[in-house]
Amino acid sequence: MSSLGAFLRQRRAALRPVDVGLVEYGARRVPGLRREEVALLAGVSITYYTRLEQGHSTNASESVLGSLARALALTAVERQHLFDLAGVRDRPGRPAGTAPDFARPGTVRLLDAMAAVPALLLGKRTEVLAWNALGHALVAHHLDPRGPEQPDVRPNLTRLLFLDEATRALYPDWATEAARAVASLRLLSGRFADDPALASLIGEPDPEEPGVRADVGRAPRGQPACRAPRRSGTRSSVTWSLDFEVLSMPDDSGHRLLTYTAAPDSASGRALAGLLASDVA
């Protein structure tokens, strides 16, 4: 193992999920964060991060090292040591195009006003900038509801779809949703070609993932089948058919409003109104 890999492994072992805003389920065989958790927080693929730890990759970029430093909650001295081990000069600040984004207050109020509709505000890198109570309950009930307010740990829908077991379990036809997500990223890359963080994210989904074929012609709307979120003490197998719409904000921010609805007279509509309302009451 390289010196860089040994340092990454040491720092990973020193952290608990709660230290970085993740939910911990039960006892762990070994202490610290799992590799996939660090990769999720840093915005890199699990394959790439594993290669870094094992010393098989030595070309980590400044932006990747900065993301790892934030994911591992490194101090200023530890961050500098990380860059020294990688042989990369640590320039202060973030590279152009990777500064954290934030939801406008007015947009947050709009989401909160949509109390009967699960709604999320996504940034141009598919990061969740804000969500209302139903949106959180539907797509990320197992994550900290305050996550979108914290740029270094905020959830990213694409990474969750590929790397988070609870999110994958929401979709009976996961491959279709994964293909839709990749296609959406490729469309975004055409609009924001100068964003290195977005370019990095596009390369993360594993092209060998069975059943994932991305077609950029897929419309940003549809009717995915979605399993009812598992609530505390329950193991629901109910499946809903929900309509979703993606509405782009009329500016150059790249912010998009994602909403889920169901016909009010349908079984899915009644379940959404009742089950989720009881979760966020």
Digit-coded pLDDT (tens) for 241-267: 888 888 988 877 789 999 998 888 888
* pLDDT tens digits, 97-114: 456 788 988 999 999 999
Tell how far CA 279 is from the center of its chain: 22
DSSP tag of 19: G
Can you read off the two tokens belonging to residue 260?
């889920």
- Per-residue model confidence (pLDDT) at position 97: 46
Question: Which CATH number does the domain 105-280 belong to among 3.40.50.1000, 3.30.450.180, 2.40.128.130, 3.40.50.150?
Answer: 3.30.450.180
- Tell me: pLDDT of 124 over 90: no
Local confidence band at 234 (pLDDT 50, 70, 90 cut-offs): very low
Query: Could you check whether 3-86 and 105-280 share the same CATH topology?
Result: no
pLDDT for the residue 70: 86
Per-residue pLDDT tens over the stretch 162-214? 888 888 888 888 888 888 887 776 666 555 555 556 555 545 544 444 444 44
Start-to-end CA distance of the chain, whole Å, equals: 50
Q: What is the pLDDT of residue 232?
A: 44
Closest CA to 65 of 52, 56, 54: 52
Residue 225 pLDDT > 80: no
* Residues 248-267: b if buried by 16+ CB within 10 A, e if exposed: eeeeebbbbbbbbbbeeeee
DSSP 8-state secondary structure symbol assigned to residue 147: G
Distance of alpha carbon 166 from alpha carbon 140, whole angstroms: 8
Q: What CATH class is the domain 3-86?
A: mainly alpha
Query: How would residue 279 be classed by pLDDT, with cut points 50, 70 and 90?
Result: low
Q: Which residues pair with 128 in a beta bridge?
A: 122
* Nearest by Cα to 260 from 151, 204, 177: 177
Domain ranges of the chain: 3-86, 105-280
Share of the chain above pLDDT 90, in %: 16
